[in-house]
Amino acid sequence: MQDMTEGSLFSHLWRYALPLLLANWLQLAYNAADSMIAGRFIGKEALAAEGIAAPVMNLVILAISGLCIGASIFMSERFGAKDMVSFRKALSAVLKAGVLMSLLIAVPGILLTPLILRLLSVPAEIFAITALYLRITFIGVPFTFIYNALASAMKSVGDSKRPLRFLAVCSVLNIILDLILLGVFRLGITASALTTVIAQAFSAFLAARCILREMPQLVPQNDEWRTDTKLLKRVMNYGVPSALQQAVQPIGKILIQGQVNLLGVSTIAAFNAVSRIDSFALIPEQGIASAISTCIAQNRGAGKPDRIRRGFATGIAMEFGYGIFIGLVTVLLGSTAVALFVKGSGTAEVIAEGTAYLSVMALIYCLPGFTNGFQGYCRGVGRIPVTILCTFIQISIRTLGTYLLAPKMGIRGIAAASGVGWSAMLLFEVPYVLLHMKRLEKSIRTPE
């Protein structure tokens, strides 16, 4: 456990964020492994199919994980206030509500897959394999929720190392299964989807076993499994808005994918590849933001406004430094990274399209770092509705920009639209957070 209400803020943020970003990188690694191996062993059609399915599944997974993120803010506050009974009751409420929600999403998703793909204007030549891949991945939704809920409980008490270990094991498992089933036995896109589901299920198992054996203080007791309606309402006040905020982004990405689908299979394949690369690039910024949220929530629960202000400033400085670093890396290695995702017919065209996209993104990677940092502050102080509004502003302008710029600029226009959306988001976030911080310091006057 890591109590962020005392000690060096930079040390706390770094120690918390590093395992978290490594864990997220590993989670992306086994998703990217599917795309790389599918693209190289099956072809660009499989790469395109997985690219189309990705935003649909991200919508589902992020909405569910958003519930966990919001609840984790409440649990972090309870941990900071040393109220472990409410902490355990909150975890119980999240588990019961989330399992039901994930089942209510997965079953209709499987049944409605053809309709979803028709709405996305999926090309006829890849419609069948995309539908197969998407239906299988829907099966893994409940496992994804269980892992996220349990990992959020661990992160609420400052433990981001154990989730890293779980994802490391599952990433290796996923890649090994991919290489065997696709590379050796050539089982096609069905195997690519199944290996992801297997890895998700195993990560949920590892998280559950760890909490039961190594962190019994987090396990709800018999009477704590009973539904406390007042507490459940408080948890949902954090969790539901956070779930909505997480869902807004992938809805926009689905609309953007619809525009990408009109640009041809090579561009679809390239966009899938660079979207994976984008995710690897942006995950550390999200990890730092999560550290900011936990730090602020714990110190809010402990009544320490000065540490809230200094923790936020430290986190923003970390976001800026990383944004500069990843931009330089993208300039140097962008085309090499794209080439990892495809082999065979059409490779040169896919690499050229992907490199064009990344040449624009390298210039603006600082912007999402700042937006993530400000979002982290808003989540930490419980202002989750503000994060929904900011995300809506960003994705709306980004989507509109994509539809205006992509027909004229191609894939470069999609990247440019992202920068415009992040800039608009900051125009709202910066003054709001600065004003809220002043009000918070006046309302909490507890010296350290």
pLDDT tens-digit series, residues 398-410: 999 999 998 888 8
**For range 283-298, the mean pLDDT:** 86
Q: Is 304 helix (H, G, I), strand (E, B) or coil?
A: coil
Task: Report how far apart the first and last C-alpha atoms of the chain are (Å, whole number).
Answer: 21
**For residues 331 and 348, what is the distance between their CA atoms, to the nearest angstrom?**
18
- Contact between residue 273 and residue 132 where contact means Cβ atoms under 8 Å apart: no
pLDDT tens-digit series, residues 164-209: 788 788 888 888 888 888 777 777 788 888 888 998 899 899 999 9
Judge whether 4 lies within some domain: no
| Of the listed ranges 55-59, 98-102, 124-128, 369-373, the one predicted with least confidence | 55-59
Task: Identify the residue whose tokens are 């290996």.
Answer: 195
**For residues 314 and 258, what is the distance between their CA atoms, to the nearest angstrom?**
39
Q: Give me the pLDDT at residue 208, please.
A: 93
Of residues 17 and 396, the one with the higher pLDDT is: 396
Domain containing 397 equals 9-441
Of residues 380 and 18, the one with the higher pLDDT is: 380
Judge whether 124 lies within some domain: yes
Judge whether 198 lies within some domain: yes
| Of the listed ranges 22-31, 72-81, 331-340, the one predicted with least confidence | 22-31
Does residue 448 surpass a pLDDT of 60? Answer: no
- Contact between residue 10 and residue 304 where contact means Cβ atoms under 8 Å apart: no
- Contact between residue 306 and residue 3 where contact means Cβ atoms under 8 Å apart: no
Per the structure, the count of domains in the chain is 1
**For residues 181 and 158, what is the distance between their CA atoms, to the nearest angstrom?**
38
Judge whether 373 lies within some domain: yes
Share of the chain above pLDDT 90, in %: 23
Judge whether 299 lies within some domain: yes
Judge whether 448 lies within some domain: no
| Of the listed ranges 16-25, 255-264, 289-298, 321-330, the one predicted with least confidence | 16-25
Closest CA to 372 of 304, 243, 445, 285: 285
**For residues 177 and 241, what is the distance between their CA atoms, to the nearest angstrom?**
37
**What's the whole-model pTM score?**
0.67
pLDDT band with cut points at 50, 70 and 90 for residue 314:
very high
Q: Give me the pLDDT at residue 152, please.
A: 87
**For range 147-155, the mean pLDDT:** 89
Judge whether 3 lies within some domain: no
* Mean pLDDT, all residues of the chain: 84
| Of the listed ranges 148-162, 229-243, 356-370, the one predicted with least confidence | 229-243
Which structure tokens are listed for 13? 């943020």
pLDDT band with cut points at 50, 70 and 90 for residue 48:
confident
Which helix (H) or strand (E) segment holds residue 302: the answer is helix 265-302
DSSP string, 80-117: HTT-HHHHHHHHHHHHHHHHHHHHHHHHHHHHTHHHHH
